[in-house]
Structure 1
Amino acid sequence: MNLYPRFDFDQVDFVTADTHFSHARISELADRPFATVDEMNAELIRRWNETVSPTEVVLHLGDVALGPIEESIGITAQLHGRRFLVPGNHDRVSPATQSKKAIERFAALYEAAGWTILPEVIEGTRRGYRILASHYPYKGDSQESDRHTTHRPRWDDGIPLLHPRPRPRTERAPVPRRRRRPRLHARPLHRNRRVDPRPPRRRTMARHRNP
């Protein structure tokens, strides 16, 4: 029995997420090496189209674009490939952050730019293995508390989940301190010590006979 809408993962050639086209602060927040938004958008499009051919399939796991959505989503029409979108919290078609009326209004913009909008959680198989995909993990968040919990996969029952979200701050691995190298204390060998190559004799116990 399927808990979520079905999707054919075998058709997918690339998976990506969090492109954040036209996001004015993403270079600062994510340490991207761009001086302006226009420079970032142009480079994202160039790298995408160098990698993806017009006939290949891309699954985008949310947060495509921000800013004035008519302009930012319109830019993504230049991207190659058949493009499927699992909405993230920053997408204007996200049930987690947008009303039904807003989603209906913005969906046409995404579709005109070549996006096929999928549900927030999808299920299917990849080479025979069952997997899920979502913008959100089962649990954990980049913030101190979990957000949008009702829009995530319902529970973690061991099915692999494709998602782009980082581990929560409380679970991130600490930076290990530099440790001193342990000193190696080698025992000196006795050069003149003879080694008998024969195996040691097997010691046996004499049986005690009763008189």
Structure 2
Amino acid sequence: MSEYPRFDFDQVDFITADTHFGHQRIIELADRPFGSVDEMNDEMTRRWNDIVGPDDVVLHLGDVALGPIEESMAMTRKLNGRRFLIPGNHDRVSSATQTKAAIERFRPLYEAAGWEILPEIVEGTRSGHRLLACHYPYWGDSQEVERHRAHRPRNDEELPLLHGHTHARDHGPGGLEFHVGVDAHGFAPIPFARIDEWITTIHPGLTRLNTAIRDAREIVTSYENVPWPEMDALYYTQGYNDLRAVLGELLDALDAPEPDSHHDEALPDGD
């Protein structure tokens, strides 16, 4: 069964992280090309709304706003789209840095600005491929010490991970990770189509196989937990149809072509 809460990645049109609206010091800390925090706020808002439409869905992987938080969150109301937020360490709704009381206090402020707050790590599928999303990468930080280790995802299954946090400017994808922070992507959200292109290059058969196996196990487990007297013909019919669907996915995954040699060379060595 899935270790993390489920999220529907198929609905997402754009993804981003680490906007830091209202944060004066991030200009210096991340060497951003803005002369003032007002310029940064205005330019990132313009770039966001230039590509994101009112009906688009955006997944933000944390650190959305700092500074005077009431003012900073209020300005994010101008951002287009339905906006999901996975909290980062600088968000006032993050269990990595905030108390439960603080999260309860600030959550309405985020929601009033149009943010739908998700758990700190989510798992789901995109066109059948399993994905994780979290503010933090498996490894790495914007500082010398890897902070918030307990709030990072486990890498037991080697699943592709979408993340922010590092403020790296020289790359997006790297091995099993894709850094989506604005510092690496022109200070704007990126189309999820770029994630689609990337995910098909890593373990193309494995991600689909893991998804199919997990779904089959969840269906079998759901039947094992139902007392026999409550199971009727309609229930069996639904179960048969469900099993046919997941077994079809499993067979498709097993028939998937092996990755090309250059894909194997791109797999991480544990760095």
Q: TM-score range by the shorter chain?
A: 0.7 to 0.9
Task: Give the length in aligned residue pairs.
Answer: 168
Give runs of aligned pairs for residues 1-150 of structure 1, distance below 5 A.
1-150=1-150
Q: Deviations over 1:126-177 (max 9, x none)?
A: 0100000000112222222221111111334211011124399xxxxxxxxx
Aligned to 1:75, the other structure's residue is in SS state helix
Check whether the contact 1:138–1:156 (CA below 8 A) recurs between aligned residues. Answer: no
What is residue 180 of structure 1 aligned with on the other side?
none
Contact 2:22/2:38, CA 8 A, preserved across alignment: yes
Q: CA separation of 1:167/1:107 partners in 2, compared to 1, >3 Å: closer, same or farther?
A: closer
TM-score by length of 2: 0.60
Aligned residue number for residue 157 of structure 2:
157
Deviation string for 1:96-140 (max 9, x for gaps)? 000000000000000000000000000000010000000011222
Q: State the secondary structure of the residue aligned to 2:54.
A: coil
**Secondary structure at 1:73 match in 2:** helix
- Structure 1 window deviating more from structure 2 (26-35 vs 59-68): it is 26-35
> Separation in 1 of the partners of 2:146 and 2:42?
34
Determine the C-alpha separation between the residues in 2 that align with 1:98 and 1:13.
Answer: 30
Seen in structure 2, the aligned counterparts of structure 1 residues 24 and 136 have a Cα distance that, compared at 3 Å, is same
Distance 2:35 2:156 in 1: 41
The Cα of 1:28 is off from its aligned counterpart by 1.3
Aligned CA-pair RMSD: 1.4
Taking the aligned partners of 1:43 and 1:100, their CA distance within structure 2 comes to 34
Contact kept, 8 Å, 2:21 with 2:72, in 1: the verdict is yes
Runs of 4+ in structure 1 deviating by more than 3 angstroms, as ranges, are 165-168
CA distance in structure 1 between the aligned counterparts of 2:33 and 2:146, rounded to whole angstroms? 29
CA deviation after TM superposition for structure 1 residue 27, in Å: 1.4
Return the letter of the residue paired with 1:59. L
Equivalent residues of 1:7, 1:122 under 8 A apart: yes
Asked whether the equivalents of residues 140 and 167 of structure 1 are also in contact (C-alpha less than 8 Å), the reply is no
**Structure 1 unmatched ranges of 5 or more:** 169-211
Larger CA Rg, structure 1 vs 2: 1
Specify which structure has the higher proportion of helix: 2
Which has the higher mean CA deviation after the structures are superposed, 79-88 or 150-159? 150-159
The one-letter code matched in structure 2 to 1:5 is P
Alpha-carbon distance in 1 for matches of 2:154, 2:27: 33
